[in-house]
Amino acid sequence: MPQHRIIIDTDPGIDDALTFLLALAAPAEIDLIALTTVGGNCTLEQATRNALDVLALAQASHIPVAVGCALPLMRPLLTAAETHGSTGLGNAVLPASPVPPIAEHAVDLLIREILAAPGAVTVVAIGPLTNLALAIRKAPRIVQAVKQVIMMGGALRVDGNVTPLAEFNVYVDPHAAHIVLHSGMPITLLPWDITRAILLTQQDVETLLQVAGPIPRFVADTTRPYIAFHAAYFNFAGCSVNDPAALALAFMPDLATLESVYVDVEYTSALTMGKTVADFAHTTGHAPNVQAVVGFDTPRFMAMLLERFAWLARRVVEQGG
Ligand code: BDR
Ligand code: CA
C-alpha cells in the first residue's frame, strides 16, 4: 500500500504537468487522491483541461480532477503565457481527455478528503493558494486534520521570478498565501531560492527520448520552449522543475535540509506585492510557521526524476499508450 495520500493543488503549467507524471511514476509510495485546479499559469478552464489531458496521456483518467477557483481572492488573475505558452503546456498538443472533471468543487474536495482521514492527507500546493485558503476559511478544522502542506512558493533570500521581489505562486494570490501561512497548518515551504537551481536540461530530455512512446515526446514538447525561456530570461542551462521537487519531498523528505522560520507575505504595497519576508535572524519574535527548505540534493532528485519518467514511459507503452 502506498504510504502517502496526496492531493495536488495545481495550475498546470509545464512543471505542474511533470509533477503529475512523477506522482504516477511512484505507485509504491504515492496514492494520488485527486488533482484540484486553480487559475494561475493559465486560466482555470485551460488548467483543468491540461490536468485531464495529461492524466489521459498517462492512462490515469481514473484520478479525479476537481475544478477550483478561477480568480485570486482580491487581485486580478495574472497568467504566465510567456513562461508556459498560450495553452500552459508549451509546444505540447495533447489528445483531449474523454473524461470530464468531477462535479465537486476543489475546495469541498480538499475539505472532505482531509477530514475523512485525519493525519493522513498531504496537500502538495504548486499553484496560487486560493483553493487552500478558502478551504481553511470554510472548514478551519482541516488545519488540525491535514498531515502537512508542501508548498512551492516564495523567494526568501533571492530575487523574485515575476517581480524583483516576488515569486509567481505567492504573487498571483498573496492574500491566499497569507491565510495559508498564518493558518497553523504544518507547512514545508520549498522556495524559488532552491528550485531555480533544480534544472532539467535539453540533454536530460534527449536521454529520456531514447525511450519510445507518448510520455517522452510530451516531456520534450512541453519543455522545449520552457528551456528556451529559462535560457533567455535567467541565463539558465535548463528549466527549473520547481513543482516536481515539491512532490518529491512527500516521499523523499531527506532530499531537503530544513530550517524552522517565520515567514510573512506583503499584500498591501504595489511595489513589494507578494514578497515573502523570512525572519531567519529572529528579529520579529514570532514563532516559526514553516519548515523552509534551505538545502536540496539536486543530483539525487534529478536522477530519481529521470529514472521514474523512463519507467512510466515504458509502462504506458506496455499498456498500449
Ligand atoms: C512556480 O510558478 C509557476 O510558474 C510554476 O508552475 C511554479 O509553480 C514557480 O515560481
Ligand atoms: Ca505551478
Which of 161, 195, 242 has most ligand 1 atoms within 8 Å of its beta carbon, as the pocket-test mutant? Answer: 242
C-alpha cell at 91: 509546444
Q: What pLDDT shows up at residue 282?
A: 96
Residue 79 CA to residue 88 CA, distance in Å, equals: 9
Nearby residues of 174 by Cβ (< 8 Å), 6 or more positions away:
75, 166, 265, 266, 267, 273, 274
CB of 88 sitting under 6 A from ligand 1: no
> Under CATH, what is the fold of the domain 4-318?
Inosine-uridine Nucleoside N-ribohydrolase; Chain A (3.90.245)
CB of 41 sitting under 6 A from ligand 1: yes
Whether cis (ω within 30° of 0) applies to the bond prior to 13 is yes
> Taking the alpha carbons of 84, 297, 20, 59 in that order, is the dihedral positive or negative?
positive
Residue 143 CA to residue 149 CA, distance in Å, equals: 10
Distances (CA, A) of 123 to 10, 39, 89, 177, 243: 10, 17, 23, 14, 13
Q: What pLDDT shows up at residue 139?
A: 98
Report the atom number in ligand 1 closest to the C-alpha of 127.
Answer: 8
Residue 110 CA to residue 141 CA, distance in Å, equals: 12
The Cα angle at residue 71 between residues 68 and 77, in degrees rounded to 5 = 135
Report the atom number in ligand 1 closest to the C-alpha of 13.
Answer: 6
CB of 53 sitting under 6 A from ligand 1: no
CB of 301 sitting under 6 A from ligand 1: no
> Taking the alpha carbons of 93, 95, 101, 106 in that order, is the dihedral positive or negative?
negative
CB of 242 sitting under 6 A from ligand 1: yes
> Which residues on adjacent β-strands are paired with residue 263?
278
Q: What pLDDT shows up at residue 2?
A: 82
Digitized pLDDT (tens) for each residue of the chain, 321 residues in all? 788 999 999 999 999 999 999 999 999 999 999 999 999 999 999 999 999 999 999 999 999 999 999 999 999 999 999 999 999 999 999 999 999 999 999 999 999 999 999 999 999 999 999 999 999 999 999 999 999 999 999 999 999 999 999 999 999 999 999 999 999 999 999 999 999 999 999 999 999 999 999 999 999 999 999 999 999 999 999 999 999 999 999 999 999 999 999 999 999 999 999 999 999 999 999 999 999 999 999 999 999 999 999 999 999 999 987
Residue 145 CA to residue 233 CA, distance in Å, equals: 41
| Ligand in nearest proximity to the CA of 9 | 2
Closest among 294, 80, 282, 270 to 164, alpha carbons compared: 270
Report the atom number in ligand 1 closest to the C-alpha of 152.
Answer: 8
Q: What pLDDT shows up at residue 117?
A: 98
Residues in the chain: 321
The Å distance, Cα 21 to ligand 2 centre, comes to 14
The Å distance, Cα 283 to ligand 2 centre, comes to 31
| Helix (H) or strand (E) run with residue 77 in it | none
Report the atom number in ligand 1 closest to the C-alpha of 80.
Answer: 4
Residue 151 CA to residue 290 CA, distance in Å, equals: 10
pTM of the model: 0.98
Report the atom number in ligand 1 closest to the C-alpha of 153.
Answer: 10
- Bridge-based pairing state of the strands 4-10 and 30-37: parallel
The Å distance, Cα 126 to ligand 2 centre, comes to 4
Residue 152 CA to residue 9 CA, distance in Å, equals: 11
| Ligand in nearest proximity to the CA of 230 | 1
SS3 state of residue 37:
strand
Closest among 175, 182, 179, 113 to 147, alpha carbons compared: 113
Q: What pLDDT shows up at residue 185?
A: 98
| Ligand in nearest proximity to the CA of 84 | 1
- Spatial contact of 115 and 139, defined as CB atoms under 8 Å apart: yes
